Structure 1
Amino acid sequence: MMKKIDLLETSKRKLLGEGIGSCSIDELQKIEQQLEKSVTKIRAKKTQIFREQIEHLKEKEKALVAENLKLSEKYGNFSSQAAKKDQRENIHETEPYADQSSPSSDVETELFIGLPETRTRRINPPKF
């Protein structure tokens, strides 16, 4: 039993690249072949796991597309109108001060200077 353990430990060290200075060319080639087989098995397992994940994600995508279609039918144009509104709000949020440099602004404010009786709305300034 102790002899087997020693052989396994020696083999493990050689696979990890430790103590290979005293190995012959044949031993090194066997270690290389063993490592190549191990890497091939690992890559095959990795590929299999990725394929399974891709299939799972494709199924999830189909379910989400079906749910999206169902919700679109249920809410009709409401969702498209809300999406357009969100897009408009996002545009305004990204460019909040875009129109301030414009000399002719269409914005009207409720700010007046003077007594309440003298408030008059002037669209165009008086011409002289």
Structure 2
Amino acid sequence: MHGNSLSIQKTIKRYAEYKTEYFVAESHPMEQYVQGLKKEMVTMVEKIEMLEVHNRKLMGQNLASCSVKELQEIATQIEKSLHIVRSRKAKLYGDEIEKLKAKERELKDERVRLCGRVGERPMGTPSSSKEKEDVETDLVIGFPKSRR
């Protein structure tokens, strides 16, 4: 049995070596993946910090370290952004005005229709063609002429 015991020990030893080699080989790609993620995280943190610094400068903060050229670039960027914001705002106002004008036309048409149903004339419109003719529109400047 001494031979069997030695054979079992050799088998266990080979298994242990195989197991160690297998797991070490498998752990390298995982370590490389983790290292890649760490590098990517560091890069992202640096980018976020740069964006925060740039954002603070655009908001007028921490400008003491800026050169005249950098300040001019910031001012130009702010002016471009302001132009874009104002253009968008003007478009929204224009769209809203058009909607309100359309609503006004709808309400006027509805008013005319309702007045027609009840037999009234809408305010501001003459009731007959006679009224149109009786209205004087001559403008006279100066002293009135005497009648003889």
CA distance in 2, matches of 1:24, 1:43: 28
Taking structure 1 as the reference length, the TM-score comes to 0.60
Number of aligned positions between the proteins: 80
Identity of aligned residues (%): 40
User: What SS does the corresponding residue of 1:77 show, helix, strand or coil?
Assistant: coil
| Corresponding letter in the other structure for 2:106 | A
Correspondence 1:49 to 2:92 = yes
Find the structure with the greater CA-based Rg. 2
Extract unaligned runs of 5+ from structure 1.
81-128
Structure having greater relative contact order (Cα 8 Å, sep ≥ 6): 1
Cα pair 2:58 2:78 within 8 Å, conserved: yes
Alignment match, 1:76: 119
Runs of 4 or more above 6 Å deviation: none
Shift of 1:76: 1.3
Extract unaligned runs of 5+ from structure 2.
1-43, 124-148
CA RMSD of superposed structures (Å): 1.6
CA distance in 1, matches of 2:60, 2:111: 55
- Which is richer in helix? 2
CA distance in 1, matches of 2:63, 2:107: 55
Shift of 1:79: 8.1
